[in-house]
Amino acid sequence: MSFDRQRVLVVGGAGFLGSHLVDRLIRDGHWVICIDNYFTGHKRNLSHLHNHPRLETIRHDITEPILLEIDSIFNLACPASPIHYQYNPIKTIKTSVVGALNVLGLAKRVHARVFQASTSEVYGDPDVHPQDESYWGRVNPIGIRSCYDEGKRCAEALFMDYHRAHDVDIRIARIFNTYGPRMAFDDGRVVSNFIAQALRGEPLTLYGDGSQTRSFCYVDDLVDGFIELMAYEGRACHEPHNLGNPGEYSMKELALEVQKLVCTDLPVERRPAPPDDPMQRQPDISCAKRNLGWEPRTRLQEGLGRTIEDFRQRLKAGETGTYARRRSLRTESKP
């Protein structure tokens, strides 16, 4: 099966990554159905495609089954940042696990190829660097991040079991930190934090001593990887593939880069590192390079520049972050 001109379902398509994936699928000529419960996603992320003849959007929660006639499915539904996934941890696990079951049940029924947006968090706080796909991880099963980490691990197990037991045609991407336009403000992720703080003229918050490292992949590069993995039909196609940018930056370096691009010299405010915060996170993407011929192309400075521009426009338009919006709605609804 090639990946041309299909009816594609994107679950979680109104979110940050989902909306960029929808853009790409529409550009490639597919018919797209997006389902989302708008927990962290927003209609605004797809408003530029309003009334597009090849896009249909449905408000639906993937913890409930749905039946649709489609050829392929991308499952991206799950809050992705700690602030969002810890807001209702039980719902997070339900979305990952029951959502995966519903998506896989649908794929089995309509013989669709199905893609799971998994995460580097399945490796937990790794004692192996960088982590390749054969590493089983070092995850705290009862910590405050486990609703996300273990939910995603269980979803991977379900994907593999549906493949082994029912021959469902699966793809699993283990996504590392990704950034770009349309990230939610105030979602607690380091890139959005630093950019929003720098643009608002607030001190940049640095957790721990700032020496912990992360790798940052620009969203367009990641979406290219999704498409390559979905189209890949080689021997290892059902195995998980790391997708991310191996360039490693300390949080201190990232803060400096953002300050340089925003042209500010704001103070840095230090806070204690949150529990279970990994010291290092770097993808080994040799598998994706070998099997998909994929690797990221966008330099950090270039991607940050585009993200800063997007944040600047949205701040100017008066937009607030999803979490901030939810918090203010809750406050308003109190008597």
Ligand X SMILES: NC(=O)c1ccc[n+]([C@@H]2O[C@H](COP(=O)([O-])OP(=O)(O)OC[C@H]3O[C@@H](n4cnc5c(N)ncnc54)[C@H](O)[C@@H]3O)[C@@H](O)[C@H]2O)c1
Q: Which residues are catalytic?
A: 148
Cβ-count burial of 252 within 10 angstroms (0-12 exposed, 13-18 middle, 19+ buried)?
middle
Neighbours of 211 (CB within 10 A): 12
Q: How far is the CB of 235 from ligand X (least distance, A)?
A: 25
Binding mask 29-48 for ligand X (x = CB under 6 A): -------xxxxxx-------
Identity of the residue, 66 or 261, whose beta carbon is nearer to ligand X in the bound complex: 66
In the list 22, 55, 79, 292, the residue contacting ligand X (rule: CB under 6 A) is: 79
Residue 119 binds ligand X (CB under 6 A): yes
Task: Please give the span between the terminal C-alpha atoms of the chain, in angstroms, as a whole number.
Answer: 57
Helix (H, G, I), strand (E, B) or coil at 94: helix
Asked if residues 104 and 114 have their Cβ atoms less than 8 Å apart, the reply is yes
Please state, in angstroms and rounded to a whole number, the distance separating the CA atoms of residues 53 and 37: 22
In the list 33, 46, 70, 76, the residue contacting ligand X (rule: CB under 6 A) is: 76
Binding mask 154-193 for ligand X (x = CB under 6 A): ---------------------x-xx---------------
Identity of the residue, 84 or 113, whose beta carbon is nearer to ligand X in the bound complex: 84
Residue 95 binds ligand X (CB under 6 A): yes
Residue 298 binds ligand X (CB under 6 A): no
SS (H, E, C) 293-334: CCCCCCCHHHHHHHHHHHHHHHHHCCCCCHHHHHHHHHHHHC
Orientation angle between helical segments 190-200 and 251-262, nearest 10 degrees: 40
Q: Which residues bind ligand X (CB under 6 A)?
A: 12, 14-18, 36-41, 61-63, 76-80, 84, 95, 99, 117, 119, 175, 177-178
